[in-house]
Amino acid sequence: MKLAELQARFWQLISAPETVERALPQVAAGDPDVAPLAAWIRAPDERYAIERLNVYGNMYFFRLLGVLRDDYPDLVKLLGDDHFHNLVTDYLAACPSDNPSIRHVGGRLADFLAGHDLAGRHPAAPDLARLEWARGLAFDAADAGELDAGALAAVPPDRWGALRFALSPSLRIAALAYPAHTLWQALERGEEPRVLEPSATDLLVWRRGFTVYHRPAAQGEARLLALVQAGAPFAAVCEELAAARGPGDHDDDAAARAAFETLTTWIDQGLLSGIAS
């Protein structure tokens, strides 16, 4: 047997949702030589070979459970240990790991949870999971510098409209149905979380240094950042801001102030990494 074949058999059996004994017939249907196990696993008999593989199967599951607990600490607090354990069991059966890196094993948990029975008891739980996942991605994102206001001072006024800004690589925009940031805050403080009412919320999530931040986006701000991310010039951002003020509002000075305040906020909070070339 080649090493790759041995690894494939081992992987199929230990990653099966149930025990090795129950998974064996299905695996053997595609690879008849996998049974009996004692033919390729050092063991005095088949029962002992199954027990040996089950040790690795259990270790594999609990390793993934531990990773998901680390990725979703506040979701664990909300659901409780037992319910989270059962959620992970159901999740891994439906969405087995498909990436060589264990870092990505929880990427589909929020969407899976949205269709799970636990979402009926905790309607905001999927959005809490989306927030926690976005925070994890922001923490892992590439490092980048931050745009300094002084760099803009050197740009002639007639060139501002053509400027294109680069967003921080860590920035994520989480479009949520519930204000999950209030739930996250209560759980972080050890408070009893209150039941949330649905309220569409765009959350900005980003990292500065080793600290991850998030906040609700101001009205229309997520759209503006999406324009920046798509490479739109600053003039397009200003036009979007002006359009948001309504057709009857022709106060150009107010629109200019709004654009300046928005840009200042992004610079002050580290959402922009520089001027795109």
Residue 221 has pLDDT above 90, yes or no: yes
Sign of CA dihedral 128, 133, 136, 141: negative
What is the three-class DSSP state of 44? coil
Region 25-52 average pLDDT: 91
pLDDT by residue (tens digit) across 250-271?
A: 566 777 788 889 999 999 999 9
Residue with tokens 């090795």: 20
Q: Which residues of 52-89 are buried (b: 16+ CB within 10 A; e: fewer)?
A: ebeeebeebbeebeebbbebbebbbbbbeeebbbebbe
Q: How confident is the model at residue 15 (pLDDT cuts 50, 70, 90)?
A: confident
Radius of gyration of the chain (CA): 25
Instruction: Kindly report the pTM of this predicted structure.
Output: 0.89
Region 63-78 average pLDDT: 97
pLDDT attached to residue 1: 76
Of residues 17 and 241, the one with the higher pLDDT is 241
pLDDT attached to residue 127: 98
Residue 44 has pLDDT above 70, yes or no: yes
Residue 63 has pLDDT above 80, yes or no: yes
pLDDT by residue (tens digit) across 201-212?
A: 999 999 999 999
pLDDT by residue (tens digit) across 104-118?
A: 999 999 999 999 999
Residue 130 has pLDDT above 60, yes or no: yes
Of the chain, the percentage scoring pLDDT greater than 70 comes to 97
pLDDT attached to residue 222: 96
The strand pair at 211-216 and 201-208 is best described as antiparallel
Query: Which pair of tokens denotes residue 218?
Result: 């101001």
